[in-house]
Structure 1
């Protein structure tokens, strides 16, 4: 945390906590107390406290001690416009040693002093995330844990809203059960879910199972909060190929209490200091050497914990009567449809496996979760429709309040948040066409020509909705093809000329190349010919793209296939051109500077590697989306039943 800011580390998802701390730690005006009405009402302290303020901010205890000796009572005096004491400032600035010395100097009741926002210094410590600062204060005055700050929040709730894991575990274990009310506990549960502290949430639920069905001040349960957390589940993790491989290979066992057994014991202080130190060094070393492995491991632990929280809460909800279950799933929002909109397939699977009737539920627009999945392009949710067998025909026949069937929803343009996950307008159009055709397989033939309330068939709707995307896809394809064709044409010209100006020249008697017997010459000849053929093929592929009709169906197979072939042959032409060039230099310089062959070969790899690195992601995306299993790959094992 910045030394000049108390809330700079506040996450964006905790706006309610922002008003609990001053925007910045303001120092007294050097001109003395302000004469404004606001300043008078706040009793701005005199400028004599400026040295103490600066010392607390910098952690300069020697200067502060001299000031406190010369000014008795300054340790409990408000030294800012916000009525913060030196302890508030030092705690917010994370000055551990300063806080330790100042707490020794102060009386226990002095630690309960509040600023104008009703926050004690422990609230500042909870926001700072430095556990040692909180421990020092609590050791001096344990009643601080029960002193509420702004918005009547306990220090524990403040730390939970800010997601400081170690601080939360310490305050959670130190705060007595009598301190927290039922409202505090449900707020704490939802806060820990919001900030991904699922280990704390699991422990809280095990202690107080009734929290699973309790509602907070907004009328929401923990299930509602989980339905808005796609990043907490495996389906929401956007890992690369290497990270996905680590994720699958990483074996994680998490108890239904919370974290790993060792991690939880360390957090609660059950291990000896020596073991704690050794365990901490082990994880820090691994995190330093292979940070990606630790990131994937931590993510998988979080995913498992989040799923355990969902299961626990849902099992408690199932103990209720049917009308109570319906009430939780309908008010104040619909967590089932929220999860479907965000693509949290694990959340929906847990709910439906034990309560199959949920597949028939509809939202305010008369849409099922599968209709929602189509509208928001959540393929993992949509693929679940194949697990319900013949019932999918009934689900697909639903018509929403606007007269749209499932194919109409597939014909609408995808939300920008989902569309932008795909690179390039052409591939976006390809994905949209694939969605339309996939949903067309599900609905009955009658629905392909059914008109909605706007008198539009799905095909008409698709053409109108995607007209602009088709234009953007055409522009993207033509620009890419034009740029690549220039390079391919230049390569073809160069290698064609090189074939008739062979290195070393020709024999004047019979016209044969002088170095025709050299091995390097054969390498030159073959690579030059390959460069010419591949570049010519590339030019033709890109030319066919430029002259294409650009119909909607062309984006599905034809155009991506041509672009793939064009990029592949262009890469081959660049690589073989570099080989031909290297072979030419080897022939010319072989008898004079034999050592030059190695650096030439190394430098020749540079442009080839650069082209591969720049174009490989696009190439792979096209291969995967055109020839791969696609986004509609169905699991061999049914997920719902």
Structure 2
């Protein structure tokens, strides 16, 4: 082993010293040492197989690169320096891609031309490929180097050979989307011939490769919900959404002047003409001064606060992803690859019989469902993929662009867009289809294994817990979702049985059996703990009612009866006693419940929420009563310390409210449900006067 290291020049002490020099960017010493033996410049320099020329190509210093090339004694050495690859066969131009200075490309290409180093059998430097079959242009797109990519494109007459690696997959547009470099992807989408690899790769890949890798660019984008606004608006808080709305649409790192350096020669169709028109229009009518000031203000703020800068980057990414999705949707026809429409038959229901719960549970535990195997993305079209991930931007664009796409049914499981959205609990897609008046029509279709729309709701294959606090509210959300979908499913389909002879309700009960067990344990333990706290609070406030602050006179009347703080103490103490006792009753009623599945739909969560709310009020009023008692006892009503003590009391109340934030959110959810129930009581004419009429088209005629 030692002899091999001695023979290897990369482990020579001289080379190790030079590697330290390069590490610290001391290029003057580097040139001085290598000038003694210029032949070493094209020898392997480190374990990655880089030569000294490769190292210099990453320096962002064109003069240094040219000086090192000039040190080589012969043209053959210079030619070898330009074309020799490292251990991964990356040439100088592959290394230059990661530089910020685009003049590095000019140096390499102009040096070959000036010295006349290209031989008849040599290909262009920009067309040389590494061990993965990637050209420098492909690498630039892979790492999101848009400026470098545009500059390299100026030296290329035909971009199409650079769209693919040696294996033809993934294409250059695929690799840009995988890296989430959507600015690069949008520029590439304007290049002639890019559609050939962006969608169906037939003719480029053989059938076996397409079966293994065949994902279109729109399928990739449809599986990235995190890059779209619809995902961030649901997950982010109020402050994030407010800042997001105020930030300019222009990206944080964009300059005021037009950055589009491309001359339009590769733009599809009349793109060059349109680009010229835009530039002329911009030169005639510059942007208003107010918009520039607004942009400059937010840029200054973003430089001071990283939180603002991060939101701005997210907004830019969302806008670029939306723009790219619009382009891909306008050229994607994958929804036409649908299940063949078969003659309809009457729905034949099995004989309705009393279910044997014990036997059914036993069979369910012993049975392994084949359909629970994970489904690959390539089995779903972009429409269904976007519906499963909740990307409303793509689903809405596809339906608007191609109204007939709502008839699309997947080949492998015979599901439509509503089936996919419902089983993945994508309520935003459900609401979108409701606006288009498609729910009842799509809800009558039956998928594979005789699964109706309700059977899709009943399964937990794609359930991701949700955002409800506690398993009780999660189970309630599932029950609400089942009842919500049940409203759009016709009566006969609600009794329809799947291949396992189970109705949707029976399947729901069996699938949620474990969740029901967890909910029972959770609600019992919570009710017991909270009832103990409520009893403790009731004991304290009851004793406080007979311990009057300030004492009493000889007739038993409070000495501080006329003080406003005493009245405040009395009201808070009475409210605290009443709410704590009622909360005890609520928790006791929970403990004496039967804990059936249907009880978790409204009854038990409502009692739990009411008990939490009353307990919160009782604790709050107890804290306020304590604060007023302190003020009355030490008689500091006009002292500066009074305000401090009151502030401490309110701080404790606020702190308690923050610790119970999930419960507050559950209460907010209950208020929304109550408002929906109240709207059913209000006459429709009154509701129509206060709501804005929808302008959405009716797409049900396309089915």
Fold in common (TM above 0.5): yes
Aligned residue for 1:432, secondary structure, equals helix
| Aligned match of 1:555 | 600
Given that residues 60 and 100 in structure 2 are in contact (C-alpha distance below 8 angstroms), is that contact kept between their aligned partners in structure 1? no
Q: CA deviation at 1:491?
A: 2.4
Name the CA shift for 1:387/1:291 in 2 (closer, same or farther; >3 Å): same
The alignment status of 1:161 with 2:161, answered yes or no, reads no
Name the CA shift for 1:32/1:541 in 2 (closer, same or farther; >3 Å): farther
The correspondence for 1:370, drawn from 418, 440, 460, is 418
**Unaligned ranges ≥5, structure 2:** 71-77, 111-123, 165-169, 206-212, 264-278, 283-291, 341-376, 677-690
The correspondence for 1:239, drawn from 236, 242, 250, is 236
Separation in 2 of the partners of 1:236 and 1:219? 26
After superposition, what is the alpha-carbon deviation per residue over 1:548-585, rounded to whole angstroms, capped at 9, x for unaligned? 33222333322332233233223322322222222222
| Aligned match of 2:577 | 532
| Aligned match of 2:190 | 206
The correspondence for 1:608, drawn from 639, 649, 653, is 653
| Aligned match of 2:25 | 59
1:74-223 pair list within 5 angstroms: 74-86=40-52, 88=54, 101=64, 104-107=67-70, 109=79, 110=81, 112-120=83-91, 122-124=93-95, 126=97, 129-132=98-101, 135-136=103-104, 138-141=106-109, 145-162=126-143, 164=144, 167-175=145-153, 176-178=155-157, 180-182=159-161, 184=163, 187-208=171-192, 211=195, 213=199, 215=201, 218-223=213-218
Given that residues 375 and 409 in structure 1 are in contact (C-alpha distance below 8 angstroms), is that contact kept between their aligned partners in structure 2? yes
Given that residues 422 and 453 in structure 2 are in contact (C-alpha distance below 8 angstroms), is that contact kept between their aligned partners in structure 1? yes
Given that residues 96 and 104 in structure 2 are in contact (C-alpha distance below 8 angstroms), is that contact kept between their aligned partners in structure 1? no
Moved more, 602-611 or 467-476: 602-611
After superposition, what is the alpha-carbon deviation per residue over 1:299-327, rounded to whole angstroms, capped at 9, x for unaligned? 34433433333333333346x9978999x
Given that residues 524 and 584 in structure 1 are in contact (C-alpha distance below 8 angstroms), is that contact kept between their aligned partners in structure 2? yes
The alignment status of 1:456 with 2:502, answered yes or no, reads yes
Aligned residue for 1:152, secondary structure, equals coil
Name the CA shift for 1:595/1:241 in 2 (closer, same or farther; >3 Å): closer
| Aligned match of 1:8 | none
Name the CA shift for 1:183/1:453 in 2 (closer, same or farther; >3 Å): farther
| Aligned match of 1:229 | 224
Q: CA deviation at 1:115?
A: 1.4
Name the CA shift for 1:546/1:323 in 2 (closer, same or farther; >3 Å): closer
Name the CA shift for 1:529/1:394 in 2 (closer, same or farther; >3 Å): closer
Name the CA shift for 1:506/1:393 in 2 (closer, same or farther; >3 Å): closer
Given that residues 105 and 152 in structure 2 are in contact (C-alpha distance below 8 angstroms), is that contact kept between their aligned partners in structure 1? no
Given that residues 579 and 617 in structure 2 are in contact (C-alpha distance below 8 angstroms), is that contact kept between their aligned partners in structure 1? yes
Given that residues 560 and 626 in structure 1 are in contact (C-alpha distance below 8 angstroms), is that contact kept between their aligned partners in structure 2? no
Q: CA deviation at 1:278?
A: 11
Over the aligned positions, Cα root-mean-square deviation in angstroms equals 4.1
Separation in 2 of the partners of 1:592 and 1:331? 73
| Aligned match of 1:340 | 387
After superposition, what is the alpha-carbon deviation per residue over 1:148-194, rounded to whole angstroms, capped at 9, x for unaligned? 333121233224333x3xx2232233333336434616822222223
Q: CA deviation at 1:394?
A: 4.3
| Aligned match of 1:265 | 259
| Aligned match of 1:354 | 401
The alignment status of 1:484 with 2:484, answered yes or no, reads no
Aligned residue for 1:480, secondary structure, equals helix
**Unaligned ranges ≥5, structure 1:** 1-28, 272-276
Q: CA deviation at 1:50?
A: 0.9
Given that residues 170 and 268 in structure 1 are in contact (C-alpha distance below 8 angstroms), is that contact kept between their aligned partners in structure 2? no
Name the CA shift for 1:248/1:592 in 2 (closer, same or farther; >3 Å): closer
Structure 2-normalised TM-score? Answer: 0.72
Separation in 2 of the partners of 1:592 and 1:290? 43
Q: CA deviation at 1:464?
A: 0.3
Aligned residue for 1:398, secondary structure, equals coil
Aligned residue for 2:502, secondary structure, equals coil
Separation in 1 of the partners of 2:295 and 2:45? 39
Moved more, 277-286 or 435-444: 277-286
Q: CA deviation at 1:472?
A: 1.7
Separation in 1 of the partners of 2:625 and 2:529? 23
The correspondence for 1:445, drawn from 491, 504, 528, is 491
- Say which one has the larger Rg: 2
| Aligned match of 1:565 | 610
Residues paired across the two proteins, number: 582
Q: CA deviation at 1:433?
A: 0.8
Given that residues 504 and 514 in structure 1 are in contact (C-alpha distance below 8 angstroms), is that contact kept between their aligned partners in structure 2? yes
Given that residues 537 and 569 in structure 1 are in contact (C-alpha distance below 8 angstroms), is that contact kept between their aligned partners in structure 2? yes
Given that residues 111 and 137 in structure 1 are in contact (C-alpha distance below 8 angstroms), is that contact kept between their aligned partners in structure 2? no
Separation in 2 of the partners of 1:325 and 1:84? 54
Q: CA deviation at 1:467?
A: 0.6
Given that residues 51 and 64 in structure 1 are in contact (C-alpha distance below 8 angstroms), is that contact kept between their aligned partners in structure 2? no
Aligned residue for 1:442, secondary structure, equals coil
Given that residues 409 and 415 in structure 2 are in contact (C-alpha distance below 8 angstroms), is that contact kept between their aligned partners in structure 1? yes
Aligned residue for 1:434, secondary structure, equals helix
Given that residues 56 and 64 in structure 2 are in contact (C-alpha distance below 8 angstroms), is that contact kept between their aligned partners in structure 1? no
Q: CA deviation at 1:337?
A: 1.9
Structure 1-normalised TM-score? Answer: 0.78
Aligned residue for 1:105, secondary structure, equals helix
Aligned residue for 2:138, secondary structure, equals helix
1:481-520 pair list within 5 angstroms: 481-507=527-553, 509-520=554-565
Name the CA shift for 1:189/1:344 in 2 (closer, same or farther; >3 Å): same
Q: CA deviation at 1:266?
A: 7.5
1:292-311 pair list within 5 angstroms: 292-311=307-326
Given that residues 53 and 92 in structure 2 are in contact (C-alpha distance below 8 angstroms), is that contact kept between their aligned partners in structure 1? yes
Given that residues 220 and 332 in structure 1 are in contact (C-alpha distance below 8 angstroms), is that contact kept between their aligned partners in structure 2? no
Given that residues 252 and 301 in structure 1 are in contact (C-alpha distance below 8 angstroms), is that contact kept between their aligned partners in structure 2? yes
Separation in 2 of the partners of 1:325 and 1:308? 30
| Aligned match of 1:619 | 664
Given that residues 114 and 121 in structure 1 are in contact (C-alpha distance below 8 angstroms), is that contact kept between their aligned partners in structure 2? yes
Name the CA shift for 1:204/1:160 in 2 (closer, same or farther; >3 Å): closer
| Aligned match of 1:590 | 635
